[in-house]
Amino acid sequence: MASPSDSTKQIPVEPKSTNDKKNQANAPKKRGSVNAANGATKAKKAVVAKQTFSQKLGSDLADGLLKDSRSLEESMNLVDRVTFVKASAQTTSSTTIVTSTALQEQEIVIAEAVNALNPEAAVDILRPKNPRNIFDLDDFAALSALEELIGRYGRVSHMGILDKSYTFFITEDRKAALYYKIKDKIAVVGGDPLCDPSLFPQILSEFEKYRKKQGLGIAFLAAGQTFVEYAKKEKWTTMCFATERVLNPMTNPVLQGTAGKSIVRTTKNLLDPKKEGITLEVYTPRLGKNPRLQQQLVEVYEEWRDHRNGMKRAQAYITVYDPFALPELMTYIYTKDRTGSPNGFAALRILGANKGYHLDPYVATPGAPKGITDLLLYGAMALLNTAKISYLSLGYEPLDDLGEITGIPNVMAKMSRKVHKRIFQGLHVAGKKAYHDKFRPDETQQSNLYLVFPPGIPSIRHMTAIVHVANIKIHKVIFKKPPVAGVEKENETEGSESASDQGLSSAGTSTERL
């Protein structure tokens, strides 16, 4: 019988030999695992290294929105609070630099807000010219319902919601709304009613009762296909006068680097610290308002408008924006020069009906470097690409000739075509199409926009109301001798280039215009 000491000595011998063999056998596997892990790490680094310029730009802008989430700490909205807690946890666990930077940005925003509220501060807060002093809960309930309807059913043709010269009408049950401007005793409605199509009869009926009390007629400017189908069934008159051009940030060839080489080159040069030194940033008021920045961006817009209005050529536009009228629906991208002063900005408005955004306005100050508006548009595409959004509307693009016309005799249709052609010959809108074409719009998402009138032949008042809403001066475009075709084309090209140099969204190409 073996002694305890002998058995103790023998016990580790056999396992040791077995483990050595196993370790030797597993050694190649372990080395393989280590090599595989190293390979995976290198592969990840390679993927990061291969990130395209547009992807990097979009990611940086998206990071700006994530940093802004720090300002949600003061919000009592449950959605905001949950977002803040989750964002804080993720940021703290991943990196300390982002957190400290975000806190610094929050302190700056708070300091600027305090300065803006100081009567002695240099920056003024924008206030309405004729503010109301009396409100009740019904006002707040109606506004809340209106914002929800805009967020759900908003389209490009509802751009006027940011223009204080328009008025809103909402049904008694607050399930439908529309907005309009009165010209020549005609209520010109912008786009489709903001509601489910099944509610078109209800809102039109309620609005008709209101109109009759006021002695107003009705017309629709830039109605979409959904409302036009309803109008045709009701025997209303429809005229296709424009198209909506749309970019697809998920497939856009300019963003993918297969087209628009000059746009990408200009964008890189503008952002290069050794060249123009422009910085591109993103701002969303919902995640914390910055009164000073908002004032600066409004000043950029006003400076652009003043310069545009000083141009001698005839122009058409249907909106004069209050860029921050409905901040819950907006995101802003802006550029800053080396001194940190904003010199261009673009506004992205949610289009609930299209699950996308409308870029309008996108402008630059007259003295800004060439290509700022290109940079803003490119940056907007990059940001939406990062967010996996495939719909970016560029707004209206008027047709040279009216498209489909229904509801009136052929003689009146021919006359309408002649008048339309004469008007738009004098408005120099060809540059807008050329500018849009540079960015390769997605033709599959393009849609028609219509003028819609009540049954029967539209009256002179109906037609002049539409023209006046678009701020078109008839005597300048109808009675002015049309330019020679060749000269017109040459002038359009030159105008587009020179205006782009001045930061004017390429001449008449700002989507604020028709």
Q: Can you give the pLDDT at residue 381?
A: 96
pLDDT of the chain, 514 residues: tens digit per residue: 444 444 444 444 444 444 555 455 555 555 555 555 555 555 444 444 567 888 888 888 877 776 555 555 554 333 344 455 556 655 544 332 333 333 333 333 333 433 433 434 333 334 445 566 777 778 888 888 998 999 999 999 998 888 888 999 999 999 999 999 999 999 999 999 999 999 999 999 999 999 999 999 999 999 999 999 999 999 999 999 999 999 999 999 999 999 999 999 999 999 999 999 999 999 998 888 899 999 999 999 999 988 877 766 555 555 667 788 888 889 999 999 999 999 999 999 999 999 999 998 999 999 999 999 999 999 999 999 999 999 999 998 989 899 999 999 999 999 999 888 887 776 666 678 899 999 999 999 999 999 999 998 999 999 889 888 877 766 555 555 555 444 444 333 333 333 333 334 433 334 444 4
Pairing of strands 186-190, 217-223: parallel
CA-based nearest residue to 164, from 320, 335, 394: 320
What pLDDT was estimated at residue 200?
98
Query: What pLDDT does 64 receive?
Result: 72
Output the pLDDT for position 476: 55
Residue 98: per-residue pLDDT: 30
With both helix axes pointing from N to C terminus, report the angle between 53-68 and 372-386 in degrees, rounded to the nearest 10.
70
470 CB-near residues (< 8 Å, 6+ apart): 221, 316, 317, 318, 514
pLDDT attached to residue 107: 38
- Nearest CA-CA partner of 379 in 55, 132, 12: 55
Identify the three-state secondary structure at position 375.
helix
Report the C-alpha gap between 409 and 405 in whole angstroms: 9
pLDDT in the model for residue 26: 54
pLDDT of residue 84: 57
pLDDT at 36: 53
pLDDT of res. 115: 41
Q: What's the pLDDT at 132?
A: 65
Q: What is the pLDDT of residue 415?
A: 92
Q: What pLDDT shows up at residue 129?
A: 54
Q: What is the CA radius of gyration of the chain?
A: 30
pLDDT given at position 470? 77
DSSP secondary structure letters along 279-335: EEEEE-GGG---HHHHHHHHHHHHHHHHHHHTS-S---BS----TTSSGGGEEEEEE
Which residue segments constitute the domains of the chain, with CATH numbers given? 67-117 (no CATH), 137-244+404-418+443-473 (3.40.630.30), 247-396+502-509 (3.40.630.30)
